[in-house]
Amino acid sequence: MLHKLRIRFILIASAAIICVLVVIIGVLNSARFIQTDGEIKAVLNILSDNNGDFPSVKETAEVLGNDRISIDTINQYRYFSVQLNQDETIQEVKLDHISNISEELAIKYAREALLYPRKQGSFNIGSQLYTFQVTRLAKSKAYLVVILDATNYIDERNDFLVLSIQLSVYSLIFFIMVVSIVSNQAIRPYINNYEKQKRFITNAGHELKTPLAIISANTELQELMTGENEWTQSTKEQVKRLSDLINHLISQARLEEQADLSLVDLDFSALVRKVASNFKSVTEKAGQGYQLSIEEGIRVKASENELYELVSILLDNACKYCDPNGQVRVSLSKKKWSKQASLTISNSYADGKNIDYNRFFDRFYRKEESHNNQKQSGYGIGLSMAQGLVQLFKGKISVSYKQGMIHFTVLL
Domain ranges of the chain: 78-149, 264-411
Backbone angles phi, psi at 310, to 5 degrees: -60, -50
Distance CA 279, CA 284 (A): 9
**pLDDT of amino acid 316:** 86
**pLDDT of amino acid 86:** 81
Backbone angles phi, psi at 2, to 5 degrees: -60, -40
pLDDT digits 0-9 by tens, 101-129:
889 999 999 998 888 888 889 888 888 89
Residues 8, 187 contacting (CB under 8 angstroms): no
**pLDDT of amino acid 252:** 61
Where residue 404 falls (left for φ over 0; alpha for ψ -120 to 50; beta otherwise) is left
Q: Domain 78-149 is of which CATH architecture?
A: 3-Layer(aba) Sandwich (3.40)
pLDDT digits 0-9 by tens, 179-234:
888 877 777 777 777 666 666 666 666 667 778 788 888 888 888 888 888 888 88
Distance CA 103, CA 108 (A): 9
Residues 146, 47 contacting (CB under 8 angstroms): yes
**pLDDT of amino acid 201:** 64
Which are the contacts of 107, defined by CB distance < 8 A and separation ≥ 6? 82, 90, 93
**CA torsion 262→267→271→272, rounded to 10°?**
110
Q: How many CA atoms lie within 13 Å of 201's alpha carbon, on the beta-carbon side?
A: 17
What's the CATH class of domain 264-411?
A: alpha beta
**pLDDT of amino acid 224:** 82
Distance CA 189, CA 185 (A): 8
**pLDDT of amino acid 172:** 92
Residues 130, 98 contacting (CB under 8 angstroms): no
**pLDDT of amino acid 271:** 93
Instruction: Using 50 as the pLDDT threshold, list the residues of the chain that sit under it.
Output: 368-375, 377-379
- Start-to-end C-alpha separation, the chain: 21
